[in-house]
Amino acid sequence: MFHRFPISVRLALWYGLTLLLLLSAFAIFCYTGFHLALHRDFDRHLTHEQRELLPFVTVGADGPRFEGLDQLTSVAYQTEGIYGTYVRLLSPEGVVRYRSPNFDANEALPVVLPEREEETSESRTWSGLPARTRYVALHTNENETDSLAGWLELTGFEWSLHQELHRLRLLLILGVLGSVVLALVGGWWMARRTLRPVATMTAAAGLMGAGDLSARLPTDFGTRDELTGLAETFNALLGRLEQSVARERRFTSNAAHELLTPLATLRSEAEVTLRRDREAAAYRAALVRLLEDVDRMTATVQGLLHLARADALTKRAEDRLDFSALVARCVAQAEKEAARKGLGFDAEVAPGVTLIAQAAPLTEVLANLLGNAVKYTAPGGRIGVALSHAGGEALLRVTDTGVGFAPEEADRLFDRFYRSDAAEVQAERGSGLGLAIVKAIVEGYGGAVRAHSDGPGQGATFAVRL
C-alpha cells in the first residue's frame, strides 16, 4: 500500500511507525516498571505494619489473638477509608478470630487463604477499589511440632497508587501519540526539504531536449551531499554524450565529404569520357583515373571499418603478444620503404616486451605510425623507432624529421579526417583516419598516445604507452 504514496510521505510514515514502535515499547517498559515499583512500595508499608503488630500476637491453644494492643503506637489499623490498614487474625481454616475496628465502615472482605504457608502479598478488589493483602503465617510449637496456628492478614487500599498509574498511563499515551504526530509532520517536512533537489533535477531534466545536450542539471543546493555528487556525475555523463554526439556529427559530415568528392570525380570523368568516341588509349587513361578514385574511396571505407573494429576491442588474458618481435617485423618492412625513398632509419627495440593484446590491431598501429613517418619525411631525412619498458608499461616512440605540425594541432591530429596544414601540402594525401585508428586501438587496450612537434618542418614524435 505504501508504494502508492510519494517518497516523502513513505519516509514520514516509516519514520512515524518506527518511532511509534520504539516509544510504545519504552512506555510499556516504564509503565510496567513503575507499576511493580508501586506494589513493592506498598508491600513495604504493609511489612512495616506487620512488624509493628507481630509483637502483640499470641498463639494459644484456641488460636492466635492480640494482647496489649492498646499499647501500640501505630494507629493505621484504626484509620478508616482508603488510607487505613485493615487487620485480621485468621485460623488455619479461615475463621476470623479478630478484625480491626475500621472493618465496620466497609463491605465484608471475603477470606482467601494462601496456598502455601509463607509470607505473600496478593492484589484484589474490595468495595470496588483496588486493594492489596499481605498474609503472615503464624506457627505454634506444641509437642515439639511446628504447625500452622493461623494467619495475620493486613489489607490496604491501593486506590491512590492506581490513580497515579492511570495518570501515568494517560500521559504516556498522549506523549507517544503526540510525539508520533510531530514526528510524522517533521519527517514529512524534512523529507520534502531533503528531496527538493531531486524535484529540481527532475524538472531540469524534463526541460532537456534530445537535440540540445548543452543543458546541465543544477548542482548548487546550498550544501554538498550525495545528491550534489549525483548531479555532477550526471552532468559529466551529459558532457561526454555531448562530445560524443558532436564527434559523430563531425565524423558523419567528414565521411560524407570524403566519399562525395571521389564520387563526384568519378561521375565527372565518366560523363566527359562518354560525350564522344575516343581512342582505346583515351579510354584506358580514363579508366586508370577512375580506378585511382575507387582506390581512394576504398581506402576511406577500409579506414572506417578498421576504426569500427578498434572501437570494439576486448582485452583477454589469453591474448599474450610478444610485442618486441612484432615491432621488429614491422620495422624491417618500414626500413625497406625508407631505403627506397632515401631515408635513414634507427631502431632500438628492447627484447622480451610482452602485452595482453592481439597482434592484428597493434600491427595496424605500427603500420600507420611508421607509414606516416615515411610518407611525410623528405628524402635525406631520418626515422627513429624505440621500444622500452618500465613499471609494467611498454613505451613505443616513433620520431621523424618530416613536415611536423603546429604545437596547437597536437590533440586534433587524432580526430577523424583531420589533416594538419603541413600535411595538406604533401602530394600524397591520406584518408585522415590513420591516427584516429591508432588512438582508438591504443585506448581500447587501456593505453595512451601523444604527439609532439616543435613546429612545421621540425619533425614529429609519437609516443604510445601500453
Residue 10 to residue 1: CA distance in whole angstroms: 10
Residue matched to cell numbers 569500427: 308
By CB neighbour count within 10 A (0-12 exposed, 13-18 middle, 19+ buried), where does 154 fall? Answer: buried
- Predicted local confidence at residue 325, as pLDDT: 92
- For the chain, percent of residues with pLDDT exceeding 70: 81
Predicted confidence at residue 412, as pLDDT, reads 81
- Asked whether the predicted pLDDT for residue 402 surpasses 80, the reply is yes
Q: Which residue has the higher pLDDT, 213 or 95?
A: 95
Digit-coded pLDDT (tens) for 98-128 = 888 888 878 888 888 888 888 888 888 888 8
- What is the mean predicted confidence (pLDDT) over 436-460? 87
Euclidean distance between CA atoms 13 and 18, whole angstroms = 8
Lowest mean pLDDT among 66-75, 86-95, 341-350: 66-75
Report CA torsion sign: 90, 96, 101, 107. Answer: positive
What is the C-alpha to C-alpha distance for residues 76 and 109, in angstroms, rounded to an integer? 18
Between 344 and 82, the higher pLDDT residue: 344
Nearest Cα to Cα of residue 347 among 383, 394, 393: 383
Q: Which residue, 189, 193, 220, 190, is CA-closest to 204?
A: 220
| Dihedrals phi, psi of 109, to nearest 5 degrees | -95, 115
User: CA–CA separation, 24 vs 176, rounded Å?
Assistant: 7
463 has pLDDT over 90: yes
Give residue 9's pLDDT: 76
pLDDT at 465: 93
Identify which has the larger pLDDT, 11 or 321. 321
pLDDT of residue 427: 44
The band of 448, judged by pLDDT with boundaries at 50, 70 and 90, is very high
Alpha-carbon gap, residue 81 to 126, rounded angstroms: 12
Residue 372, judged by CB atoms within 10 A of its CB (0-12, 13-18, 19+), counts as buried
pLDDT average, residue stretch 210-215: 66
- To which H or E segment does residue 232 belong? helix 226-274
Q: Which of 262-276, 293-307, 452-466 has the highest mean pLDDT?
A: 452-466
pLDDT in tens, 409-423: 888 887 777 766 555
Q: What are the pLDDT digits (tens) for 162-202? A: 777 788 888 888 988 888 888 888 888 877 777 677 767 77
* pLDDT, mean of residues 338-347: 89
- What is the 8-class DSSP label of residue 69? G
Residue 290 and residue 269: Cα distance in Å, rounded? 7
pLDDT reading at 233 higher than 90? no
Quick one: pLDDT at residue 258? Answer: 61
In the structure, what pLDDT confidence band is assigned to residue 450 with cuts at 50, 70 and 90? very high
Task: Please report the pLDDT score of residue 399 as a whole number.
Answer: 93
Give Cβ neighbours of residue 402 (< 8 Å, ≥ 6 apart).
373, 376, 377, 378, 381, 459, 460
HSE-CB of 77 using CA atoms within 13 angstroms:
24
For residues 427 and 355, is the Cβ–Cβ distance under 8 A?
no
Average pLDDT for the chain: 80
Considering only CA atoms, which of 439, 405, 462, 449 is closest in space to residue 247? Answer: 439
pLDDT band, residue 50 (cuts 50/70/90):
confident
Q: Are 422 and 433 in contact (CB under 8 A)?
A: no
For residue 425, pLDDT over 60 is answered with no
Quote the cell numbers at residue 251: 565524423
Look at residue 135 in the predicted model and tell me its pLDDT. 92
Q: Give the mean model confidence (pLDDT) for residues 278-306.
A: 74
* Sign of the dihedral through C-alpha 401, 406, 408, 412: negative
Neighbours of 22 (CB within 10 A): 12
Instruction: With CA atoms as reference, report the closest residue to 416 among 400, 396, 438.
Output: 438
pTM above 0.85, yes or no: no
Which residue has better confidence, 99 or 210? 99
> Is there a contact between 310 and 437 (Cβ–Cβ < 8 Å)?
yes
User: What mean pLDDT do residues 372-388 have?
Assistant: 90
Per-residue model confidence (pLDDT) at position 326: 92
More confident residue, 80 or 354: 354
Q: Assign 424 to helix, strand or coil.
A: helix
- Is the pLDDT at 156 greater than 90? The verdict is no
Distance from the Cα of residue 441 to its chain's centroid: 34
C-alpha closest to that of 410 among 377, 376, 439: 439
Q: Nearest 5 degrees, angle CA 321-CA 323-CA 327?
A: 140
Given a cut of 60, whether residue 1 has pLDDT beyond it is no
The alpha-helical segments, DSSP class H, found in 275-385 are 280-311, 323-341, 359-375
Return the pLDDT at 35. Answer: 80
Per-range mean pLDDT, top range of 132-141, 229-238, 262-271: 132-141
Q: Looking at the chain, how many residues does it have?
A: 466
Give the pairing type, strands 63-66 and 85-90.
unpaired
* Cα–Cα distance for residue pair 456/404, rounded to 1 Å: 5
